[in-house]
A and B are shown apart, each in its own frame.
Chain A
């Protein structure tokens, strides 16, 4: 478990967005025959280089993300309640762990309404990314 988490973080921090399933396959490719809980750089490097060169596991564009939220909000209220978010994130797709759920809730949920206004949320998250890019000269 520990090894999965760290490798997943590394791969994702490099800009790739594999699903959990794809991540497991990738780890299977690079881990030792006898599972030691560690992954060696010599094995990881060539595989990862290929992933990057092929531009595999491209990140989710903002509009696709927005539409995903809208699917979960069919009546177009513009928000999801905290309970709805928890239910979807922990029971559907590739479910969140409790830690992941709490982490997302802490930033996403507006405490007054106890809901996530997903459009604002997405804008804010993207802004956080943009802040990093602020120093780029045109």
Chain B
């Protein structure tokens, strides 16, 4: 030990040692940079796909308008459906009725006492940390009480940092309870001295949306002047259908899930739209465009806006505001806070985007942040990241995870467009060699998938290339396929149904007004016809009918649409969850 110590000191200044160290450092920096580039690509994939999803939400919204115009002629006898589509408020579920739900003695989750106090907030936090599920009695009670409070609020709240109150602004949480806990840990729980603004998107995607929402609403009830909630585009029952909150509720609340969902719909519409701090700073989800009229925002009847996706309802000649706000943002932050010096003239000095869900796309994908505002000072930003492990994993492992996840998602999009892609490839490949140049492949991918991605950089993870750099384009579809629910059905049909499964799911849910999970064959056919017309999908009506019949989902003239849609999913060849490792037959 002593020997190596002295030889260590002796060698310290030798040029050989310096050179060796430099070589290792140089190599490491190159290696690390390549890993970070892969990480960045993965993030780009996630963001690109998310953006594309938002575009298809718009398409869905247009479809609803289209459906209204054409469907009503066929189904005049369904006033409830029309009312639902037109966004009129259905008669309220009776509050006293639902609150009569018993809480059994055996229930060991948080128990709340109305009117709520800070002990109830702590009770919720403690209970959720122990992974308890809040009893539906309390969920409903909180929702009803929150609605009453929210109804008193204007569309845009004004708050102030005078009286030396520092205000904390948080962005999207998306059901990530751990992030909320981390924020409370670093920044303190909400109170009269510690006001918060939560700028929308509390739910969807993460697995604790209801818990996050309950904590936020309970805090609102305890501190109505110091806890501000803005509505985000995910505070929307249609978005919840697509992005997981509805599923979460139905899983956690099998008996009262539907009741909860109904009241939730209502509560959403009463969430305020924006918050203004010190007459100087506007906080709104999704930001603004040049055409946003703040005065209009003040005036509209916000509770009439059932969903971002529903067609806007004109009232008194004003065109209603469409909350179809596209997300703008840079890597770790998304639009939700705007700073301004001259509010009414709309001259924004600075736009800051705050996003509070760390690891949003995948473990290790990004950090989260919150902002603290105080009087006459620059806002301070605090960043954090939730980690599951007790120590940080090495960079290459984190990158592999994020990249693996991104590529997986991308492959699912690719297989869903197989027919169109093959068509595009073959246009280039006149002599049917099965090969394309990297550029031709990249161009085809981009134009068919309409995803703005660094295809050339991603190619090593997506296709096989030969020594000359040419792409074996059919390998774009390797290791993944769409499960065929029935053997004798056209690939195109399967592809189409797989691609539009989320949209179809939402549409079915709209039509299924009694939440039974079933729609009549007639409704199914009508809706399918309209869908086909609007989306321009090349599928035969009879094919779909036949498929539904073959899948034996036609139960006494009704279709169990959850079963129908569940049948369309992809199978990844090297999925660890697959029971057998038998190679999958490529079709």
Measured CB to CB, the closest approach of chain A to B385, in angstroms, equals: 14
Chain B residues lying within 8 Å of A125, measured Cβ to Cβ, are 31, 396
- Asked if A133 contacts B17 (CB within 8 A), the reply is no
| B188 close to chain A: CB less than 8 A | no
Extra contacts besides A13-B36, A65-B27, A88-B21 (15): CB < 8 Å: A16-B30, A19-B26, A68-B20, A71-B17, A75-B4, A93-B24, A100-B29, A104-B32, A106-B393, A106-B394, A107-B394, A129-B34, A135-B463, A136-B460, A137-B467
Q: Which residues of A contact B (CB under 8 A)?
A: 8-13, 15-17, 19-20, 59-60, 64-65, 67-69, 71-72, 74-75, 84, 87-89, 92-96, 100, 103-104, 106-107, 125, 128-129, 132-133, 135-138
- Asked if B8 contacts A84 (CB within 8 A), the reply is yes
SS of A interface (majority): helix
| B18 close to chain A: CB less than 8 A | yes
- Asked if B23 contacts A60 (CB within 8 A), the reply is yes
Bound-state CA distance A128–B397 (Å) is 10
1/0 per position for B504-524, CB-CB distance to A under 8 A? 000000000000000000000
With known contacts A68-B20, A71-B17, A106-B393, A59–B464 Cβ distance under 8 A: no
- Asked if A92 contacts B393 (CB within 8 A), the reply is no
Measured CB to CB, the closest approach of chain A to B36, in angstroms, equals: 5
Q: Which of A93, A103, A132 has the most CB of B within 10 A?
A: A93
Bound-state CA distance A12–B32 (Å) is 9
Chain A residues lying within 8 Å of B22, measured Cβ to Cβ, are 19, 92-94
| B37 close to chain A: CB less than 8 A | yes
Measured CB to CB, the closest approach of chain A to B468, in angstroms, equals: 10
- Pick from A15, A64, A67, A72: contact of B21, CB under 8 Å: A72
What is the chain B residue whose CB lies nearest that of A59?
Answer: B30
Q: Which of B32, B397, B472 has the most CB of A within 10 A?
A: B32
Bound-state CA distance A67–B16 (Å) is 11
| B428 close to chain A: CB less than 8 A | no
- Asked if B460 contacts A71 (CB within 8 A), the reply is no
Bound-state CA distance A99–B22 (Å) is 17
Bound-state CA distance A11–B394 (Å) is 22
Bound-state CA distance A60–B24 (Å) is 9
Chain A residues lying within 8 Å of B391, measured Cβ to Cβ, are 106
- Asked if A137 contacts B20 (CB within 8 A), the reply is no
- Pick from A9, A67, A135: contact of B33, CB under 8 Å: A9
Bound-state CA distance A35–B91 (Å) is 63
| B89 close to chain A: CB less than 8 A | no
Bound-state CA distance A88–B9 (Å) is 11
Measured CB to CB, the closest approach of chain B to A80, in angstroms, equals: 10
Chain A residues lying within 8 Å of B465, measured Cβ to Cβ, are 135-137
Bound-state CA distance A129–B33 (Å) is 12
1/0 per position for B70-86, CB-CB distance to A under 8 A? 00000000000000000
| B466 close to chain A: CB less than 8 A | yes
- Asked if B25 contacts A93 (CB within 8 A), the reply is yes
14 CB-based A-B contacts, threshold 8 Å: A9-B37, A11-B33, A15-B34, A17-B29, A72-B17, A72-B20, A74-B11, A75-B7, A89-B21, A100-B32, A133-B460, A135-B464, A136-B460, A137-B472
- Asked if B25 contacts A89 (CB within 8 A), the reply is yes
Bound-state CA distance A116–B251 (Å) is 48
Q: Which of A13, A15, A72, A74 has the most CB of B within 10 A?
A: A13
With known contacts A93-B22, A107-B394, A60–B30 Cβ distance under 8 A: yes
Chain A residues lying within 8 Å of B461, measured Cβ to Cβ, are 132, 135
- Asked if A92 contacts B11 (CB within 8 A), the reply is no
| B28 close to chain A: CB less than 8 A | yes
What is the chain A residue whose CB lies nearest that of B11?
Answer: A74
Measured CB to CB, the closest approach of chain A to B45, in angstroms, equals: 16
- Pick from B4, B28, B30, B393: contact of A104, CB under 8 Å: B28
- Pick from B12, B36, B393, B467: contact of A9, CB under 8 Å: B36
What is the chain A residue whose CB lies nearest that of B478?
Answer: A135
Bound-state CA distance A106–B387 (Å) is 15
- Pick from B3, B8, B395: contact of A103, CB under 8 Å: B395
- Asked if B37 contacts A17 (CB within 8 A), the reply is no
Chain B residues lying within 8 Å of A84, measured Cβ to Cβ, are 8
